[in-house]
């Protein structure tokens, strides 16, 4: 894993081939917006003056992915692609003097939305980044909101159902406790009444026995 720092001293961790976690929201907040329609071909340009290497990264759903990278040859007159797993849709082109490099993406889809970071490197070991580009597909946000609303309604129904279960469960428990308390109290009263009646009968029997003598 290589650690890079951009001109604003924001930290970015990335592997050259796979994914890594990315959570620096301060970078996401300072981006240039590009809104396109689904299926369009887009071009993202970046300055390559006095630079030897360039790489484009894509940030989506907190996943930071290397899309494509390239570097100049020994003469610095050609830009050679060094990494591009999606050659059918991605490519880097330059002007004859290699002062500006362009990332070309053909037929954008919803999965292409997100933040695009371009990093360049000269003779130093660090790669420098400028402001990222936020790519949005027209109509995607509205669709996302439509799909989120039923989920919120479902959650509300689930909460309401849970509350009802708890409410009726509490009422049932209270009735059961009241019923048991009533039964127990009745038995206690009955038992005490029976004891009093038995004692009174015994006293009456003794008095009657003494009178007979």
- Domain of 59, CATH number, reads 2.60.40.10
Q: Please report the pLDDT score of residue 45 as a whole number.
A: 94
pTM above 0.75, yes or no: no
- Whether residue 126 is found in the same domain as residue 188: no
- Whether residue 98 is found in the same domain as residue 130: yes
Q: Please report the pLDDT score of residue 125 as a whole number.
A: 83
Spans of the chain below 70 pLDDT: 1-29, 141-179, 181, 183, 185-213
User: Degrees (nearest 5) of the Cα angle 152, 155, 156?
Assistant: 90
Q: How far is CA 100 from CA 41, 43, 134, 149, in A?
A: 19, 12, 20, 44
Q: Please report the pLDDT score of residue 137 as a whole number.
A: 94
Q: Please report the pLDDT score of residue 62 as a whole number.
A: 87
Label residue 60 left, alpha or beta by phi (over 0 means left) and psi (-120 to 50 means alpha): beta
Token reading at 51: 């630079």
Domain assignment of residue 144, yes or no:
no
Token reading at 52: 């030897």
Q: Please report the pLDDT score of residue 16 as a whole number.
A: 43
- Whether residue 47 is found in the same domain as residue 118: yes
What is the number of domains present in the chain? 2
- Whether residue 15 is found in the same domain as residue 116: yes
- Whether residue 16 is found in the same domain as residue 118: yes
- Whether residue 198 is found in the same domain as residue 96: no
- Whether residue 47 is found in the same domain as residue 128: yes
- 25-41 residues labelled b (16+ CB within 10 A) or e (exposed): eebeeebeeeebeeeee
The strand pair at 53-60 and 32-36 is best described as: unpaired
Give the gyration radius of the chain's Cα atoms: 39
Domain boundary among 138, 157, 180: 138
Contacts of 212 (CB under 8 A, 6+ apart): none
Q: Please report the pLDDT score of residue 21 as a whole number.
A: 42
Identify the domain containing residue 161 by its residue range: 149-213
Give the CA-trace dihedral at 80, 12, 22, 94, to 10 degrees.
-30
Q: How far is CA 45 from CA 93, 130, 150, in A?
A: 9, 12, 40
Q: Are 125 and 102 in contact (CB under 8 A)?
A: no
- Whether residue 47 is found in the same domain as residue 84: yes
- Whether residue 46 is found in the same domain as residue 117: yes
Q: Please report the pLDDT score of residue 117 as a whole number.
A: 96
Domain assignment of residue 143, yes or no:
no
Domain boundary among 138, 167, 187: 138
Domain assignment of residue 64, yes or no:
yes
Domain assignment of residue 119, yes or no:
yes
Taking only the tens place, the pLDDT of each residue in 135-149 is: 999 987 644 434 343
Domain boundary among 84, 110, 138: 138
Q: Please report the pLDDT score of residue 176 as a whole number.
A: 63
Domain assignment of residue 102, yes or no:
yes
- Whether residue 69 is found in the same domain as residue 124: yes
């Amino acid at each position: 894993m290589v650690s890079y720092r951009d001109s604003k001293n924001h930290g970015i961790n990335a592997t050259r081939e796979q994914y890594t976690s990315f959570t620096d929201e301060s970078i996401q907040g300072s981006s240039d917006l590009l809104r396109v329609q689904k299926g369009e071909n887009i071009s993202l340009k970046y300055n390559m003056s006095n630079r030897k290497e360039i790489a484009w990264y894509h940030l989506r759903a907190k996943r930071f992915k290397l899309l494509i990278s390239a570097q100049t040859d020994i003469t610095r007159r050609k830009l050679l692609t060094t990494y591009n797993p999606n050659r059918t849709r991605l490519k880097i082109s330059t002007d004859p003097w290699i002062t500006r490099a362009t990332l070309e993406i053909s037929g954008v889809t919803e999965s292409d939305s997100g933040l695009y970071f371009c990093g360049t490197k000269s003779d130093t070991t660090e790669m420098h980044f400028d402001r990222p580009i936020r790519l949005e597909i027209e109509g995607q946000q509205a669709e996302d909101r439509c799909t989120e609303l039923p989920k919120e309604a479902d959650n509300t129904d689930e909460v309401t159902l849970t509350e009802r279960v708890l409410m009726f469960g509490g009422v049932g428990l209270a009735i059961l406790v009241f019923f048991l308390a009533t039964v127990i109290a009745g038995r206690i009263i009955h038992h005490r009444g029976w004891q009093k009646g038995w004692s009174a009968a015994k006293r009456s029997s003794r008095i009657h026995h003494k009178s007979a003598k």
